[in-house]
Amino acid sequence: MDGRASDRGRRAFVSLAGICNRLRASYSWKASRAFCSVPMAEAVMFAMNLSFILSRTLVPTMANLPAEPHHRGSSWRERRDADSNPRELFFQRRLEARLRGVARSLARHVVMALAIATVFICVHGFVLASFC
């Protein structure tokens, strides 16, 4: 591990320890205050500990896994088509066509929402400006 990675790990551990130390104080609270905040503090501490452990173990391991080599002259679709069952290929192509349709529909809805938002902002800006 190079110096930068260990330095980042040290900083992450110090912030993790500081936050866990701060949340530890919630265990001394009583009644409804403790009932509401202690489970949240436990969840935050568990998530931060797990995140720290995974970032120091699993992420570097996954980053070092070899990637699939690139093949010149053929795209991944051509290789997939050559290896696939015709029935699977039929369903895969139908799924891709439907997903492209959903993406086009979503793009149209986003454009329409932006147009409506622009009109909404302009109208309400005019109304607010008329009161000034």
* Segments making up each domain of the chain, as ranges: 3-63, 76-131
Q: Identify the CA nearest to 24 among candidates 12, 42, 36.
A: 42
Q: What are phi and psi of 19, to 5 degrees?
A: -70, -45
Q: What's the rounded Cα separation, in Å, for the pair 124 and 107?
A: 26
Torsion angle of the four alpha carbons 105, 110, 114, 117, in this order, in degrees rounded to the nearest 10? 100
Q: What's the rounded Cα separation, in Å, for the pair 46 and 25?
A: 16
Which pLDDT score is estimated for 126? 83
- Please tell me the total number of residues recorded for the chain in this structure: 132
Tell me what the mean pLDDT of segment 37-42 comes to.
80
Give the pair of three-digit tokens for residue 114. 């932006």
Q: What's the rounded Cα separation, in Å, for the pair 100 and 32?
A: 51
Within 8 A by CB and 6+ apart from 29, the residues are 37, 38
Which pLDDT score is estimated for 101? 93
Q: What is the mean pLDDT of the chain?
A: 79
Sign of CA dihedral 93, 98, 101, 106: negative
Greater model confidence, 127 or 105: 105
Q: Is 103's pLDDT higher than 90? A: yes
